[in-house]
């Protein structure tokens, strides 16, 4: 098991994230607070995916589906609150105390169903069946014409309401998301170092051996699949609140691909890695066009993916430990 203590580093990052809004305001670039919020929200999704890919060796290619479940839960509740209509007899709500827990519960349920069926398969078949479930949910959301179909829907009532905290204030909302991120990150740190985490590592290394020592690998895989699904659902619920918009694009299979990219860029099998990967990904998305323009490659700036693709291929082929491996070269 890879060592995950880098306490000074982690505390430094936390301090930086806590101080970020002040720094951004002081330097007159407070428009970047929205980017910072995206960072912490998608870092939650990336860390949750790494529990599957990096820690358990389960290559799930449909993780964005759970983003969608979380986001649509918040969106649909908000929609009915705005329209003052009901869904199967229940009213909509803007309360974050209802919407967010419900988003988590529904993504857990979705992950339970998807996991229970998908985890019967292995290898390529697992990749493909999770991709298929992702596509099913994508088309499900596309077919919800009441909720905007293909185009998705705006949340006209704005973000969820909470007692004591105004989420429509962007700094409060940033801290709200940061709190969730810290909570989830801490939970995962503990999880991977627990005996359950040791079981997951064993599944990754030698799954067939587990049943001979009396451990039911299927059950452990299902548990971690649900935990990861809840993580993605949380990110989805926060993302819906952030953009005040939900659409099927959130669950498109390329979004699942992006999440995998983030994990590998940062360094899989570590918890810090996916966070670094999210950071790098957003950084590239925001700044690679600018950098390319600066280099006199104006044509490429609009098409930054043309440069990003080969970079990614090089990372996959030659730098599998990702950004994490650069920062913390492995001893021994």
Partner 1 sequence: MSQLFLEQLLNGVQLGMFLFLVSAGLTLVFGFMNIINLAHGSLFMIGAYAMALIGGVTGSFLLALVLSLPVVACAAWVIEVVIIRRLHERDHLDQVLATFALILFINEGTTMLFGRVPLFMDVPASLSGTVTLPGGVTYPLYRVAIIGAGLAVALALWLIIARTRVGMQIRAGTTNRETVEQLGVNIDRLNTLIFVVGAMFAGLAGALAGPLTSVEVGMGENLLILCFVCVVIGGIGSVRGAMLGAITVGVVDTMGRAFVPDILGRFLDPATASGISAGLSSMSIYLLMVVVLVFRPTGLFPVARSV
Partner 2 sequence: MLEIRNLCKSFGALKAADDVSLTVERGTIHALIGPNGAGKTTLIALLSGYLQPTSGAIAFDGRDLLAVPTHLRPHAGLVRSFQITSVFPEMTVRENVCLVLQSVAGQARSLFRLAAADRAEQEEADATLARVGLIDQADALTGNLAHGQKRQVEIAMALAARPKLLLLDEPTAGMGVEESRRIMDLLESLRDSVTMLLVEHDMDVVFGLADRVSVLVYGKVIASDTPERIRVNADVQEAYLGDHELHGEGD
Which residues are near partner 1 by CB under 8 A?
53, 59, 61, 117, 120-125, 127-129, 131-133, 135-136, 139-140, 142-146, 149, 253-254, 257, 260-261, 264, 299, 303, 305-306, 308-310, 312-313, 316-317, 320
Nearest C-alpha neighbor of 73 from the set 104, 48, 95, 43: 104
Measured from the CB atom, the residue of 61 and 79 that comes closer to partner 1 is 61
Task: State how far the Cα of 224 lies from the Cα of 60, in Å rounded to an integer.
Answer: 12
Measured from the CB atom, the residue of 9 and 125 that comes closer to partner 1 is 125
Nearest C-alpha neighbor of 250 from the set 151, 326, 108, 103: 151
CB environment 12-45: b (16+ within 10 A), e (fewer) = ebeeebeebbeebeeeeebebbeebbbbbbbbbb
Measured from the CB atom, the residue of 32 and 127 that comes closer to partner 1 is 127
Instruction: Please report how close the Cβ of residue 90 comes to partner 1 at its closest, in angstroms.
Output: 19
Measured from the CB atom, the residue of 84 and 208 that comes closer to partner 2 is 208
Which entry of partner 1, partner 2, none binds 246, CB below 5 to 8 A by partner kind?
none
Task: State how far the Cα of 226 lies from the Cα of 112, in Å rounded to an integer.
Answer: 6
Sites of contact with partner 2 (CB under 8 A):
1, 190-191, 193-199, 201-202, 205-206, 208-216
Measured from the CB atom, the residue of 94 and 268 that comes closer to partner 2 is 268
Instruction: Please report how close the Cβ of residue 59 comes to partner 1 at its closest, in angstroms.
Output: 5
Which entry of partner 2, partner 1, none binds 88, CB below 5 to 8 A by partner kind?
none
Coil, strand or helix at 269:
coil
Which entry of partner 1, partner 2, none binds 209, CB below 5 to 8 A by partner kind?
partner 2
Measured from the CB atom, the residue of 88 and 195 that comes closer to partner 2 is 195
Nearest C-alpha neighbor of 268 from the set 276, 256, 279, 280: 276
Could you give phi then psi for residue 290, rounded to 5 degrees?
-65, -45
Instruction: Please report how close the Cβ of residue 104 comes to partner 1 at its closest, in angstroms.
Output: 24
With 0-12 CB in 10 A as exposed, 13-18 as middle and 19+ as buried, what is 208?
exposed
Count other Cβ atoms within 10 Å, centred on residue 283: 13
Which entry of partner 2, partner 1, none binds 124, CB below 5 to 8 A by partner kind?
partner 1
């Amino acid at each position: 098991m890879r060592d995950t203590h880098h306490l000074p580093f982690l505390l430094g990052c936390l301090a930086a994230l806590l101080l970020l809004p002040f720094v951004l305001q002081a330097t007159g670039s407070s428009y970047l607070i929205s980017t910072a919020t995206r960072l912490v929200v998608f870092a939650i999704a990336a860390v949750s995916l790494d529990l599957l890919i990096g820690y358990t060796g389960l290559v799930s290619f449909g993780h964005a589906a759970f983003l969608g479940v979380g986001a649509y839960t918040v969106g649909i509740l908000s929609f009915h609150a705005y329209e003052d209509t009901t869904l199967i007899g229940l009213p909509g709500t803007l309360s974050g105390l209802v919407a967010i827990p419900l988003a988590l519960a529904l993504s857990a349920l979705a992950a339970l169903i998807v996991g229970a069926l998908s985890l019967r398969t292995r290898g390529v078949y697992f990749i493909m069946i999770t991709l298929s479930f992702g596509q099913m949910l994508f088309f499900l959301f596309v077919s919800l014409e009441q909720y905007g179909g293909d185009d998705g829907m705006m949340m006209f009532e704005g973000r969820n309401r909470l007692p004591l905290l105004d989420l429509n204030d962007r700094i409060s909302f940033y801290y709200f998301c940061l709190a969730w991120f810290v909570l989830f990150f801490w939970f995962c740190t503990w999880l991977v170092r627990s005996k359950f985490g040791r079981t997951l590592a064993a599944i990754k290394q030698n799954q067939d051996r587990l049943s001979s020592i009396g451990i039911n690998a299927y059950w452990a895989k299902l548990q971690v699949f649900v935990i990861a699904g809840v993580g993605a659902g949380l990110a989805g619920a926060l993302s819906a609140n952030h953009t005040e918009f939900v659409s099927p694009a959130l669950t498109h299979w390329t979004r699942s691909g992006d999440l995998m990219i983030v994990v590998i860029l940062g360094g899989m099998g570590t918890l810090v890695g996916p966070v670094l990967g999210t950071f790098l990904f957003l950084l590239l998305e925001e700044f690679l066009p600018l950098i390319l323009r600066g280099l006199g490659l104006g044509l490429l700036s609009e098409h930054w993916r043309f440069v990003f693709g080969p970079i990614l291929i090089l990372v996959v082929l030659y730098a599998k430990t990702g950004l994490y491996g650069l920062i913390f070269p492995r001893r021994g």
